[in-house]
Amino acid sequence: MKVAVQSGGMVRVLLHALIAVLPWWIKNPLYRLVFGYRIGRRVRIGFSPISVDRCVIGDDTRIGHLNVFWRTKELRIEDHVRIGHFNLFRGGDLIHLERFVEIFRANVINSIPDPEVDNPTNPVFRLGAGSVLTTAHWLDFTDSITIGCRSSLGGRHSSLWTHARQRTRSISIGSFVYLGSEVRLAPGARVPTFSVVGIGSVVVDAIDVRGHLISGSPARTIKKLDADGQRLLVRKTRRDLPDDVGAAELERIEHEMAASAPRASLAAVE
C-alpha cells in the first residue's frame, strides 16, 4: 500500500482526506503505516490533512483543526510545537519548525511551485526554537525564509515576500526579534538579531546594526533599545519554554555586545 500511494494522484488525495477525519489515536498509526511518516509520542493531530512527501513530527506536538499541509517535499516538526487552526503550509522543499515553536491561526506559509524565475531558488522555511507566529500573516518562501530562535511575528497581517517578478532573494530574521503588526519585508530583507521592528514598517534591504528599534518606510534604525525594549526581547515566548531554549544564543549575543560596548547582562533583565 505504501508504494502505491507514493505515486500520488487521486488515491493519495482520498486517503489523506479519509485519514484526516479520524481521531488522533487512529490517525497516527495509519500515517506511520500507510505513508511512512515518523510521528512521535503523545502527538495530537486534529482534522488537518498532511499531504507531503516526507514527514517527521516530534513528541508532544499539538496540531489543531482545519490546517492544511500540502505538496511540501519534507515537513519537519520538532517536539512540543503548537499549531492552532486554519493555517496553510504549502509547497517548498522543506518546512522546518524547531522545538517549542507556536503558530496561532489563519497564517499562510506558501512557496510558489515551479516558479518562472531567472535565478536558482532555495524554497526552505525555518522557524527557530521558541519562536512565534501570531495571526493572519503571509510568508512567501519561494526562496528561503529563516527566522532565529525566540523571535515573534506579532499582531496581524504582516507579509514576507521573497519573489518579485522573475527574481527571488532570501529573507533572514535573527534571534530575539520582535516584529509588530502589518510589517512588510521585501526580497533580500534582513533583520538583525536582538531588534524590534515597529508597526507598519517596510524593510527593503539588509539592516546590520542590532540592538535597535527599526521603523519607517523604508525602514531604518531609529534608536538603541532601552531596558524595557531589552526586557521585551529576552522574555520567554511561552510559559512552558525550557530555560535552555535560546540560552546559548543569548549568551553569544551578550558576549558580542559586551565586547563592543560594556553593558548590563541581557539575561538580568528577563
Q: What is the CATH number of domain 91-269?
A: 2.160.10.10
What cell does 166 get?
A: 522573475
Tens digits of residue pLDDT in 90-133: 999 999 999 999 999 999 999 999 999 999 999 999 999 999 99
**8 Å CB contact between 61 and 80:** yes
Residue 206 contacts by C-beta under 8 Å, 6 or more apart in sequence?
A: 188, 189, 190
Tens digits of residue pLDDT in 211-230: 999 999 999 999 999 988 88
Helix (H, G, I), strand (E, B) or coil at 222: strand
pLDDT at residue 262 in the model: 55
- What percent of the chain has pLDDT above 90? 82
206: which DSSP letter?
A: B
pLDDT at residue 254 in the model: 82
Span 185-200, average pLDDT = 97
Helix (H, G, I), strand (E, B) or coil at 204: coil
Helix (H, G, I), strand (E, B) or coil at 247: helix
- For residue 7, is pLDDT > 50? no
Tens digits of residue pLDDT in 139-151: 999 999 999 999 9
Tens digits of residue pLDDT in 54-101: 999 999 999 999 999 999 999 999 999 999 999 999 999 999 999 999
> Any idea which residue has 507556536 for its cell?
102
Span 32-45, average pLDDT = 96
Element (H, E) at 74: strand 68-77
Note every long-range contact of 50-55, with CB atoms under 8 Å and residues 24 or more positions apart, other chains counting.
50/16, 50/20, 50/75, 51/12, 51/13, 51/16, 55/31
User: 4: pLDDT confidence band, cut at 50, 70 and 90?
Assistant: very low
User: 259: pLDDT confidence band, cut at 50, 70 and 90?
Assistant: confident
Q: What is the mean pLDDT of the chain?
A: 92
* Nearest partner of 254 among 242, 244, 245, 267, judged by Cα: 267
Residue 75 contacts by C-beta under 8 Å, 6 or more apart in sequence?
A: 50, 52, 54, 55, 56, 57, 69, 89, 94, 95
User: 256: pLDDT confidence band, cut at 50, 70 and 90?
Assistant: confident
Give the torsion through C-alpha atoms of 91, 93, 99, 103, to 10 deg: -20
Q: The pTM is what? A: 0.92
